[in-house]
Amino acid sequence: MATLNFNAASVEPSTSDFEVLAAGMYNATITGSDQVVAKSGNGEYLKLEFTILDGPAANRKVWSILNLWNTNVTAVDIAQRDLAAICAAVNLPGAGDSSELHNKPLQIRVGIRRSEEWGDQNDIKGYSAVAGPVMSVAPSAPVAPVAATAEASAPWAS
């Protein structure tokens, strides 16, 4: 329990519409990352938060998970290939820590995953280098890591 002393009448409620992004290519940057225990108990994954940098979707968030520490060898292989693609897209030969990937522009190919349980959600289908200058909207102060959770069952696009 937390003491709030909050008067809701003094604050305008948020009106975000949480519609999925249209499928396509977006200039983005990784603005958060965290190692999370998988709900299934079969390992951990790297949760990456991407922020769209420009266009009508500027400042929108999209998330991706990379099953880097998993009992499923195929899942680990796919995650390692995705991480290699991210590193190549941001011109980083390797990373000792996920924070080294933060605030470096790249292009993400966003798709839409249909889900009856959660409704339509965005998925990142690919990563590539940005072709040309990017108008950055990344924060000037360091970005805090994405909060750790024990579950991966929530919708992942805002």
Among 66, 37, 39, smallest CA distance to 50 is for 66
Q: Assign 12 a pLDDT band (cuts: 50, 70, 90).
A: confident
Query: How much is the pLDDT for 144?
Result: 43
Q: Let me know: does 48 contact 68? Beta carbons within 8 Å.
A: no
Global confidence as pTM: 0.75
Domains of the chain: 18-128 (2.40.50)
Q: What is the pLDDT of residues 95-142, one digit of tens each?
A: 999 999 999 999 999 999 998 888 899 999 999 999 876 655 444 444
pLDDT for residue 151 is more than 60: no
pLDDT for residue 71 is more than 50: yes
Among 20, 12, 17, smallest CA distance to 119 is for 20
